[in-house]
Structure 1
Amino acid sequence: MSGFDSNPFGNPVDVNPFQDPSVTEVTHSGVDHMDQYTPFPASDTGNLTGSTIPASAVPSQPAVLQPSVEPSPQATAAAAQANLLRQQEELERKAAELDRREQELQNRDRTTGKENNWPPLPRSFPIKPCFYQDFSEEIPPEHQRICKMMYYLWMLYCVTLFLNVLACLAFFTADAGYGVDFGLSILWFILFTPCSFLCWFRPVYKAFRTDSSINFFFFFFIFFAQVVVTVIQSVGIPKWGNSGWISAISVVRSNLAVSVVMMVVAAFFTVCATMSIVLLKMVHSHYRRTGASFEKAQQEFSQGVLTNRTFQSAAASAAASAAQGAAQRN
């Protein structure tokens, strides 16, 4: 119980912290420890020693300008020929790639059952359809009506040409001196029926299908000539193979029945000419709304020519021949 008799609130015993033996030993030793401190130990000084190489010991050489060597004409021609051959190989590689893609698209069309369906010929017929034509699938909805009207115009024109052959035959039976009209009417039917389909209907079909400016320009050029021809056919100049108004009126007194038949054909030609003018204006209005332009047509033409394999081969052959000729002259 003696541990509890001391007063915890009494004066504490004075304790001097500097009376610690470890402190007194250092303070009373008489040695200056600052003098003994060395920031660079002796063990590390050996690693810092090294020899300095004076700048004069390094051998110096004067700068020498090498004279430029002009390549010989043979070397220049050989380099140009090698460059042309490399470009030719690149063009051939691109052409092969385009052919491969085109073949893949054709194979894809075959696998999906997208076969040519125009003209609609029997399967047993030896001649197969040449084109694929589907207005609802290939033509945008806003252009389907005008495109179908162009197709109906072509059909009406073909029917009119056939009736023209019959009318000219009747004219030939009434007057043997007009056999030239009958012969020319057969020629116009054979010539204009396929040419009108290929030269102005297919271009306008492809123009509406792909929004192609160059096809629009081709259509306008050919179809304007078609309008002029149809107007001339409706007029009916004698000896031109057309059963028009002049030819029909000229035979009224001699044979009224033949004249009536020829007037019906002249009316068909007039309807074709009128519809051609109206549809030409309608196509032009659609063309203006599609954003097509002459600059776009030029760009499409240049791209089509540059990607044409025949043109690429001809250009590469001409360039190689020119390079070989230059090399031989040098």
Structure 2
Amino acid sequence: MAENNFPPLPAFIPLRPCFYQDFEEIPDQHRTMCKRMYHLWILNSVTLAVNLIGCLAWMFGGGGVTNFGMAIIWLILFTPCSYVCWFRPIYKAFKTDSSFNFMAFFFVFMAQVGISIIQAIGIPGWGVCGWLATISFFGTNIGAAVVMLIPTIMFTAVAVHNFYRGSGGSMSKAQEEWTTGAWKNPHVQQAAQQAAMGAAQGAMMQHSDSQYSSTPNYNYDNQM
């Protein structure tokens, strides 16, 4: 069995990697897409790190320490959680052609869309430099607000992109199938895989010159 190699931790840290990750074990036809989803996870993580800097400027500009503390929690908690909850499922789905993992990715990625929208809105006290927090702070400290504007734009780009490419009518149908157990049907599994593939491809539209299909939908007329 291959030795775990992710995350790649420095030797002086007394912790061992928790996962094995090697894109060479992904089939050729899915390897590029899997790498792009990994880059999307990195983008989300970088955005949370930049948000921490924005909240630091917010604190020094007179915004209090609550948002900075919450920003630390966002970064520490959601960086590993997003890796485990939606990148690992899509990685395993591409690796083994698993319909269950495609479905798991699809549901969690929809939650990621919702979180991205909340972050872009930027409710004060929630630890994110969104539009409400940033615009309201321009009247208090322009310098700090300009720094806050950077993660605000990043959150907005992620939220808008994911919303238009990853949501839609297929979500309610997917929820119904999950609760009723219909996902066990081979035809529904194939539809779920296609929907998740569409979400994955849509999520990477801004990182590729290639054109992918738009919102994923279940086509019951052809599958049933």
Q: Same fold judged by TM-score > 0.5?
A: yes
Residue 158 of structure 1 is aligned with which of 41, 45, 49?
45
Deviation for aligned residue 1:125: 3.7
Deviation string 1:48-67 (CA, Å, 9 cap, x unpaired) is xxxxxxxxxxxxxxxxxxxx
Q: 1:214–1:298: 8 Å Cα contact kept in structure 2?
A: no
Deviation string 1:191-242 (CA, Å, 9 cap, x unpaired) is 1011000000000100111011111111111110111101110111111111
Structure 1 residue ranges without an equivalent (≥5): 1-108, 285-292, 300-330
Distance 1:204 1:130 in 2: 17
Deviation string 1:101-129 (CA, Å, 9 cap, x unpaired) is xxxxxxxx3xxxx3221111234542121
Q: Percent identity?
A: 49
Distance 1:151 1:280 in 2: 16
User: Against the structure 1 CA distance between its residues 249 and 124, is the aligned structure 2 distance closer, same or farther, given a 3 Å change threshold?
Assistant: closer
Residue aligning to 1:58? none
Deviation for aligned residue 1:294: 4.5
Q: 1:213–1:294: 8 Å Cα contact kept in structure 2?
A: no
Distance 2:142 2:187 in 1: 52
User: Against the structure 1 CA distance between its residues 124 and 257, is the aligned structure 2 distance closer, same or farther, given a 3 Å change threshold?
Assistant: closer
Residue aligning to 1:181? 67
Q: 5 Å matches for 1:4-19?
A: none
Residue aligning to 2:152? 266
Which letter does structure 2 place at the counterpart of 1:160?
A: T
Is 1:132 paired with 2:20?
A: yes
Q: Secondary structure at the match of 1:175?
A: helix
Residue aligning to 1:321? none
Structure 2 residue ranges without an equivalent (≥5): 171-182, 190-224
Q: 5 Å matches for 1:102-251?
A: 109=1, 114-123=2-11, 125-135=13-23, 137-176=24-63, 178-251=64-137
Deviation string 1:67-100 (CA, Å, 9 cap, x unpaired) is xxxxxxxxxxxxxxxxxxxxxxxxxxxxxxxxxx
Is 1:295 paired with 2:185?
A: yes
Distance 2:3 2:49 in 1: 30
Residue aligning to 2:202? none
Which letter does structure 1 place at the counterpart of 2:77?
A: L
Distance 1:294 1:181 in 2: 43
Which letter does structure 2 place at the counterpart of 1:295?
A: N
Q: Secondary structure at the match of 1:222?
A: helix
Which letter does structure 1 place at the counterpart of 2:139?
A: R
TM-score (norm 1): 0.49
Q: Which is higher, the Rg of structure 1 or of structure 2?
A: 1
Q: CA RMSD in A?
A: 2.3
TM-score (norm 2): 0.71
Distance 1:153 1:271 in 2: 12
Deviation for aligned residue 1:161: 0.8
Deviation for aligned residue 1:141: 1.6
Distance 1:243 1:252 in 2: 12
Deviation for aligned residue 1:296: 3.9
Q: 1:212–1:297: 8 Å Cα contact kept in structure 2?
A: no
Deviation for aligned residue 1:273: 2.0
Residue aligning to 2:193? none
Which letter does structure 1 place at the counterpart of 2:185?
A: E
Deviation string 1:2-61 (CA, Å, 9 cap, x unpaired) is xxxxxxxxxxxxxxxxxxxxxxxxxxxxxxxxxxxxxxxxxxxxxxxxxxxxxxxxxxxx
Which letter does structure 2 place at the counterpart of 1:148?
A: K
User: Against the structure 1 CA distance between its residues 297 and 221, is the aligned structure 2 distance closer, same or farther, given a 3 Å change threshold?
Assistant: farther
Distance 2:61 2:121 in 1: 20
Distance 2:105 2:187 in 1: 12
Distance 1:297 1:276 in 2: 26
